[in-house]
Structure 1
Amino acid sequence: MHAHDTYDYAVIRVVPRVEREEFVNVGVILSCERAGFLEARIEVDEARLRALDPGIDLDLVCRHLAAIPAICRGGEAAAPIGLLPPRARFHWLTAKRSAIIQTSPVHMGRCGGDLAATLEHLMDRMVRPPKPAG
């Protein structure tokens, strides 16, 4: 039987108008130190963001969001942050900010080993709109 992995995750949010504190969840960052796993998935729902701020610069937001998975992958392409160990990159990505791109508080979970499937489950639960019943 496979031991359960403990992981940490945070939801990535876009806050179009920081002063209003309204946000749309657009992704999840998941880290499992024991497995050496650090990955982010992002899906931007442009209509939901435009509902909060019709003048939002979606190209700029998407360029900034694209940096998150790059930092998770690490390496020179994401330097200097990408050169840090994975756990340090996770903590850097989830640090409290007052900016258009923020993360939720860090939460903890356990899974049976398929961290990629866990990340997809979190995307379904925390980011993607619910599927209609029926």
Structure 2
Amino acid sequence: MPDKVTFEYAIIRFVPKVERDEFFNIGVILFSKRKKFLGIKYLIDPKKFDAFSNDIELYDVENYLKAWDLVCQGAPAGGKIGALELSDRFRWLAASKSTILQCSKTHPGLCYNPKETLEGLFESFVL
């Protein structure tokens, strides 16, 4: 059986009014250097979104998250950030921001399969 590997993750939060510091979890980003894995999974509940914000379009937030996904994939459409190494892309995405999309502090862990772990974290913290 293969050994467990280290990983880091952060919870993605929607913060509609940054000055009020109110948020709800909408996704997870996970990085494992040894497995060369960087993944993101997100879902925005439209009812919760509408309850939190009436001046931000769901479509815009979804487009921002799609851009984050392109960065994770290292796709050319991910721009200069998408061209960086996996660890640098993760650090850039998980960095503190004062925007409507923010990440929690990063948390470490051990896992066998980063993709399965990403799914489990998503179920625990978002769904």
Q: Please report the TM-score for the alignment, with normalisation by the length of structure 2.
A: 0.96
1:51 & 1:75 partners in 2: Cα distance? 34
Percent of aligned pairs sharing the same letter: 40
Post-superposition CA distance 1:57-115 (Å, at most 9, x none): 1111111111111100003221111110000000000110000010000001111x221
The structure number with the bigger radius of gyration is 1
2:118 & 2:90 partners in 1: Cα distance? 15
Q: How does 1:105-116 map to 2 (within 5 A)?
A: 105-111=105-111, 113-116=112-115
**Runs of 4+, deviation exceeding 4 Å:** none
Task: Answer yes or no: is 1:120 the counterpart of 2:111.
Answer: no
Q: How does 1:46-57 map to 2 (within 5 A)?
A: 46-57=46-57
Q: Please report the TM-score for the alignment, with normalisation by the length of structure 1.
A: 0.91
Q: CA deviation at 1:55?
A: 2.9
Q: CA deviation at 1:10?
A: 0.3
5+ unaligned residues in a row in structure 2: which ranges?
A: none
2:55 & 2:101 partners in 1: Cα distance? 16
